[in-house]
Amino acid sequence: MLFVFLMWAFAQQQESTIEGVVIRDGTNQALADVQVALWPTTNSVQTKPTGEYSFKDVPPGQYTVVVVHDGMKLKMPVSMTYRQRMSVTLRVPSAPSISGTVFAPNGERLAAARVQALRLAYTTTGQRMRLIDETLTDDRGEYRLFWLRPGQYIIA
């Protein structure tokens, strides 16, 4: 029985900690209440108001710290050894968006103008423009299309 306890105590001392902070890329803005997962385990935690997270008692091995925010997924590979404390800062990029202002030929801003984001799609019948998203301009003629996938768009 004593041997089993000593083995358990030794194993507890060998396990490591992965901790860090989740921030918006390009800023120092901490992202609160964001789910952070440790793959291939089923462990996940939510960030604190300061963006901090922590996985304790992580056995040695290869892991991937995963965070999804605003539809953007970030994966960070981590290799843990015995009794290691690793700090991993996750810089999550903002969801891609396109914004601008629509003007009439006379230079006035156009309110309630329809703005479309189109992409070139290849079909069996040839190339076609595919509607990805659309919105209306506000009272100042401004628009914002957000949560777009990275790529090239035509704005109409």
- DSSP codes joined into one string, 108-155: PBPTT-EEEEEEEEEETTEEEEEEEEEEE--TTSEEEEESPPSS--EE
Q: Compute the half-sphere exposure of residue 76: CA atoms within 13 Å on the CB side of its CA.
A: 19
Residue range 17-60, pLDDT digits in tens: 888 888 888 788 888 888 888 888 788 788 889 888 888 887 88
Averaged pLDDT score across all residues of the chain: 82
pLDDT at 5: 47
Residue range 100-117, pLDDT digits in tens: 999 999 989 999 999 999
Among 132, 102, 138, 106, CA closest to 120: 132
Nearest-angstrom CA–CA distance, 15 and 25:
30
Q: Which residue has the higher pLDDT, 117 or 14?
A: 117
Nearest-angstrom CA–CA distance, 61 and 77:
11
Using the CB atoms, write b or e for 114-136: b if 16+ within 10 Å.
ebebbbeeeeeeeeeeeebbebe
pLDDT at 116: 93
pLDDT at 13: 52
Query: Would you say 95 and 146 are in contact if contact means Cβ atoms under 8 Å apart?
Result: yes
Q: Which residue has the higher pLDDT, 93 or 120?
A: 120
Q: Which residue has the higher pLDDT, 12 or 127?
A: 127
